Structure 1
């Protein structure tokens, strides 16, 4: 299977974050690293972006579930 390569703008559109937020997450290691195609061109593997989004969704769902278990009367 060939992985589709996404531009930064395509990644921004899919994940709902801007350039600065993406680069900050790259810097702190919490976002998939891009593939470099020369000094000015980078792309992200679509499969890695999809996996990252899934991780964010799972972490958010776990956070909500943990909060509901701690405070069952707030629902």
Structure 2
């Protein structure tokens, strides 16, 4: 996880929120209490992200502090 956070520049909470919205690669289980990511999947996700300032609209999936995902009411 620390390497994924370092590579992407986003927090652990943001990563799991994006996973919940199907907007980030899902981890694979590598032990009873451990998960990991395929490096190529993370790099592909990074490469697919728009450059700063080029977002045309906000994400349709918002993260709620109570771990509930809600749909953006404006869309």
TM range (shorter): 0.5 to 0.7
- Aligned residue pairs total 56
CA RMSD of aligned residues (A): 2.1
1:55, CA displacement in angstroms? 0.4
1:50, CA displacement in angstroms? 0.4
User: Which has the bigger relative contact order, CA under 8 A and spacing at least 6?
Assistant: 1
* Equivalent in the alignment of 1:60: 51
Q: Provide structure 2 residue ranges, at least 5 long, that are not aligned to the other structure.
A: 57-75
| Superposition TM-score, scaled by structure 2 size | 0.65
Q: Highest Rg: 1 or 2? A: 1
TM superposition outliers: structure 1 runs of 4+ over 4 Å: none
Q: Provide structure 1 residue ranges, at least 5 long, that are not aligned to the other structure.
A: 1-7, 67-75
Pick the structure with more helix per residue.
1
| Superposition TM-score, scaled by structure 1 size | 0.65
* Equivalent in the alignment of 1:15: 8
